[in-house]
Amino acid sequence: MTTSLFFIQLINGLQYGLLLFLIASGLTLVFGVMGILNLAHGSMYMVGAYLAWYFFTHTDSFLLSAIISAVIALSIGILVERTLIRQLYHRNHLDQVLLTIGMIFVFNALQSLLWGNDPQGIKVPDLLSGSIPLTDTLSYPVYRIFVAVICILLAAALYYTINKTRLGMLIRAGESNREMVECLGINISRLYTIVFAIGVMLAAIAGVLSAPMVSIVPGMGEHVLIACFVVVVIGGMGSIKGAFVAALLVGIVDTFAAVLLPSIASMVVYILMALILLVKPKGLFSN
């Protein structure tokens, strides 16, 4: 592998990792604050991508469809939390796993009913459709760089919100001591609704941002889901910082494994995960 190819693959890995972080951040946030394991998180990613496609074909504006999709995702999040997730706060993880498996079924069926099963795609917004030449054959699309930048900005925003704002203070308090927060007269129920809805919205935004880069197909959420689990577990469940580090690690390892170890490429990230859990059973940055 030449040095230039090495750096190109490194960029590929970082870019993939950043996108993984964006999807996984919602999953780990919801788990960290509420102790809820949401297997339907991948479905939210799928919903985001389909919404973006649907509104883009109707409005022809990527920005507009992104905003509408994010708002709809937020509402779905509130609705699902108020009606279903709320039932699970005093239940064990097994019930959460099962209820959210049921949700996967429902979202898949709704997707097929509402939008059909043909693969769909949307074109990259004109403003971002250029590319930057890297070598004489390879060039890098501006849109992917844009997505990477957005991911970094969102990561920074999450970090700021959690560490510097009142909401973040409540979230951190909720993570460490639920009863305490309640005693302080904070409406924990509303906090949970907000956090869950934000989690759903993050997954949907990742779907929206991916829409111009990927084929929008049934079942796209389930592929992503398992990758997110790996990220969340390696990083330490509930840790945003951990998810960030783990996502980049998984992105890079997966990218290099694909080219260097083709015969076991899809096993490598799971081997990585198993090894890390052997050394640190609760992940890299567990609380």
- What residues between 35 and 74 interact with other proteins by CB under 8 A? 37, 39
Rounded to whole angstroms, how far apart are CA atoms 80 and 85? 6
Both structure tokens of 25:
């951040």
Rounded to whole angstroms, how far apart are CA atoms 104 and 254? 26
Rounded to whole angstroms, how far apart are CA atoms 73 and 41? 12
H-helix or E-strand containing 222? helix 220-235
Type of residue numbered 2: T
Q: Which residues contact 139 (CB under 8 A, 6 or more apart)?
A: 131, 132, 133
Q: Stretches 9-17, 62-70, 161-169, 176-184: which one binds other proteins (CB under 8 A)? A: 9-17
By CB under 8 A, residue 14 contacts other proteins: no
CB of 75 to other proteins, least distance (A): 19
Contact yes or no for 268/253 (Cβ under 8 A): yes
| Burial class of residue 117 (count of CB atoms within 10 Å of its CB; 0-12, 13-18, 19+) | exposed
User: Which residues lie across from 240 on neighbouring strands?
Assistant: none
Contact yes or no for 234/249 (Cβ under 8 A): yes
By CB under 8 A, residue 233 contacts other proteins: yes
Comparison of 2 and 166: residue with beta carbon closer to other proteins: 2
CB of 63 to other proteins, least distance (A): 19
Binders in 148-207 for other proteins, by CB under 8 A: none
CB of 22 to other proteins, least distance (A): 15
Q: Choose, by CB under 8 A, the member of 216, 245, 246, 250 that binds other proteins.
A: 216
Q: Stretches 59-67, 107-115, 157-165, 166-174: which one binds other proteins (CB under 8 A)? A: 107-115
CB of 183 to other proteins, least distance (A): 26
- Residues 110-149, mask of contacts with other proteins (x by CB under 8 A): x-xxxxxxxxxx-xx------x-x-x-xxxxx-xx-----
User: Which residues lie across from 132 on neighbouring strands?
Assistant: 140
By CB under 8 A, residue 237 contacts other proteins: yes
Comparison of 74 and 217: residue with beta carbon closer to other proteins: 217
Token pair 């339907």: residue: 40
Q: Stretches 61-69, 70-78, 108-116, 158-166: which one binds other proteins (CB under 8 A)? A: 108-116
Comparison of 85 and 154: residue with beta carbon closer to other proteins: 85
